[in-house]
Structure 1
Amino acid sequence: MTGFALGVDQEEWCGQLRALAVERLRPLAEKGEPGRVNRPLLAALGELGLLERVFASGALELCLLRESLAYGCTEAETALALQGLGAYPVLRAGSEEQRERWLPEVRAGRAVAAFALSEPGAGSDAAALALSATAETAAAGAGWRLSGEKCWISNAPEADFYTVFARTGEGPGAKGVSAFLVPADRPGLSGAPLDMLSPHPIGSLAFDGVPVGPRDLLGEPGRGFRVAMDTLNLFRPSVGAFAVGMARAALDVTLAYTADRTAFGGTLSDLQAVAHRVAEMATRTEAARLLVYAAAGAYDRGAGDVPRRAAMAKLLATETAQYVVDHAVQLHGAVALQRGHLLEHLYREVRAPRIYEGASEVQRTIIAKELYGSAGAGVAR
């Protein structure tokens, strides 16, 4: 995939999504309480069929969905993405019983899902998980007890169920991690909110001997890290799409403002320094967008280089969005720092994607590892 262009139907759909985000979803988002799950917003996403699209679409459509919603309402985009992130492992690796119990509720916006991977000592280094799953007995069909802590979990502690990754010990490092579906009302599970720079809830979870059994497993014992990576390989390019949506919103409002704002005997756009900066913002945004959709296309084709492409897409798009929003604020001046201004909102929202689902430094590590792995014997020793 050397280029990317939307078809007429896709352009129309994206336009409809942007309009929905502004007209239908943003008013619900504005009524929400910061740091709490916005259940009316989730219900609207379900009613509009957008949560269904998360699970029924490929990576390309998921990216279009996230970019378009982010352009008009970042809160709606994030609510939708977190449902997908928390429940996709159930779709991909869950049993028929697990899928029938939870996925219809998630799609309707009635059940809140969460992806519980990070820990106080294992954020970027996901293979270093310490949450233990201790086998209760050696008997066939016996369960485990989860003990330890998760931290920086989006939708915690308000989610209705958690996709939890714990160390069952079948092997060292990533080889000894299993994935579990843990309902929020399971005995021994508690949580607390964290005061974060985020409109949605982020919290910690404490596991005090939480019982789980074979029916709670997502996939096979010792294969949980693969479940996590399969999920992240899908969602990392779409994090990039979220970032592109923010960058495009910041760019458009900057184009309008600099073309209209008078200063120094003309408009700001007449100043070469301003015009060149806007040109740079636009070029970087377009480059990031192309890389995001190239990664999404590779995922949908089942290409072998998806981890590298996904990491590149997330890295470039999130770093680009930070650059574009920061320069948009600079070109607007003090007006952009007023509470309620679009850029004040985007300035707060744009920072976190460079950290979650693998920080930028982790993406560079993945890219380098994939590059040198592909080089193989061709690399001089």
Structure 2
Amino acid sequence: MADRSYLDWPFFEEKHRELSDALERWAGRRLGEIDHADTDAACRDLVAKLGQGGWLEHAASEDGKLDVRSLCLIRETLARHDGLADFAFAMQGLGSGAITLFGSDAQKSEWLPKVRSGAAISAFALTEPQSGSDVANLAMTARRDGDDWVLSGEKTWISNGGIADLYVVFARTGEGPGAKGLSAFVVPADTAGLGVAERLDTIAPHPLARLSFEDVRLPADAIIGAPGEGFRIAMSVLDVFRSTVAAASLGFARRAMDASLDRASSRELFGAPLFEMQMVQGHIAEMAHGIDAGALLTYRAAWMKDMGAPRVSREAAMAKLFSTEEAQKIIDAAVQLHGGDGVRSGSVPETLYREIRALRIYEGASDVQKIIIARAAMAAHDKGGAANGA
């Protein structure tokens, strides 16, 4: 059983501990029922079960507020049990996040109840073939035609692409250069002109697709917020959900450590348990150290956001960078400790090894997180220097 003593840290309230306990019981009962042979079907099944269990209420709240600590605890727990369950939950939140935080009353009433119940699968369509972490470089256009908007272009690496019922799409509307000229739109999956150009396969199977938009016509009220607010909306959504990526990596890391402890205590080498080797103890110590440090960074960022911080870009970037990179090291060590069994297809270490790699890329690759952190450090330095008359 993974260590859960961190729930006693002052970042959490009693409601968070109750949530974690309830989800732990539910996941133990329900996630073993999922057939992963067909990834699309498994995701649909998981979204339905998460909706029935009431867990998606945290991903698309009725009051337009998101408790980031709850989101993180849910992702960490689901990831420890089943990586695809974590994916299914996360995409419901990320895909509908712009509507939850910035949508009109009509948009919220039409879509959020469906997302919460699991009746509608959501997707966040930001990345393009020539624009990943550089959001300001988006090329997809949305032009006015009478009272309508007409979207043209392409999106790629879209999670839930091909199975989503709802896409939140970011496009260039031209109110200003770069980031100042982007807007966000609600696009139902059955809208004419929206197509799945290609399904994308990855080392850890998830529904992913490249989407084409050929003169996709939307009504005027499909825009989220005002024209030109798309970049702010996208960054605000990522500001919430980036910490949850760190939490998911903690879930993977905790499972890897559990598997390593089981292996070290049950496997014998030279007539003694594997754990008696000092090198093995060193690996275990580094795992425990990395997990606790990552959890401190992750739940600090979540706590700050819940306490009303307008932006936690620096803190979320630190949490995501450290936790995902450290989880990769922990899982690699788990593979090593398992020897041949660690690379056997379908084993826990092998599965985790494939699952963790994408987390160091999506929602801002590790190198991009370094840029965010460095720029924040320089901005703080310049502000302090000016205040001191330097």
Q: Percent identity at matched positions?
A: 46
How far is the alpha carbon of 1:271 from its aligned partner?
0.4
- Name segments (4+ residues, structure 1) moved above 3 Å: 3-13, 377-381
How far is the alpha carbon of 1:35 from its aligned partner?
5.1
Q: Is 2:124 the counterpart of 1:115?
A: yes
TM-score (norm 2): 0.92
Match in the other structure for 1:370: 376
Does structure 1 conserve the Cα–Cα contact (< 8 Å) formed by 2:40 and 2:163? no
Match in the other structure for 1:24: 30
Match in the other structure for 2:180: 175
Q: Distance in 1 between matches of 2:358 and 2:92?
A: 18
Q: Distance in 1 between matches of 2:14 and 2:259?
A: 24
How far is the alpha carbon of 1:326 from its aligned partner?
0.6
Secondary structure of the residue aligned to 1:358 is coil
Q: Distance in 1 between matches of 2:16 and 2:310?
A: 26
Give matches, 1:137-156, under 5 Å.
137=146, 142-156=147-161
Q: Distance in 2 between matches of 1:72 and 1:18?
A: 9
1:220-271 per-position Cα deviation (integer Å, ceiling 9, x unaligned) = 1000111101110000001100000110111111112101210012111100
Match in the other structure for 2:50: 45
How far is the alpha carbon of 1:285 from its aligned partner?
0.8
How far is the alpha carbon of 1:76 from its aligned partner?
1.0
Match in the other structure for 1:75: 84
Q: Distance in 2 between matches of 1:224 and 1:236?
A: 18
How far is the alpha carbon of 1:379 from its aligned partner?
5.0
1:193-243 per-position Cα deviation (integer Å, ceiling 9, x unaligned) = 112223220001101111123210011100011110111000000110000
Q: Which moved more, 1:144-153 or 1:332-341?
A: 332-341
Match in the other structure for 1:158: 163
Give matches, 1:283-298, under 5 Å.
283-298=289-304
Q: Distance in 2 between matches of 1:151 and 1:104?
A: 27
Which of 197, 202, 206 does residue 203 from structure 2 map onto?
197
Match in the other structure for 2:142: 133
**AA of the residue aligned to 2:344:** Q
Match in the other structure for 2:67: 58
Q: How many pairs align?
A: 374
Give matches, 1:225-304, under 5 Å.
225-303=231-309
**AA of the residue aligned to 2:235:** M
Q: Distance in 1 between matches of 2:30 and 2:266?
A: 29
How far is the alpha carbon of 1:38 from its aligned partner?
2.2
Does structure 2 conserve the Cα–Cα contact (< 8 Å) formed by 1:34 and 1:198? no
Secondary structure of the residue aligned to 2:378 is helix
Match in the other structure for 2:352: 346
How far is the alpha carbon of 1:277 from its aligned partner?
1.1
Match in the other structure for 2:341: 335
Alpha-carbon RMSD across the aligned residues, in angstroms, is 1.8
Q: Distance in 2 between matches of 1:265 and 1:31?
A: 39
Which of 306, 312, 318 does residue 318 from structure 2 map onto?
312
**AA of the residue aligned to 1:245:** G
TM-score (norm 1): 0.94
Q: Which moved more, 1:145-154 or 1:370-379?
A: 370-379
Q: Distance in 1 between matches of 2:80 and 2:369?
A: 24
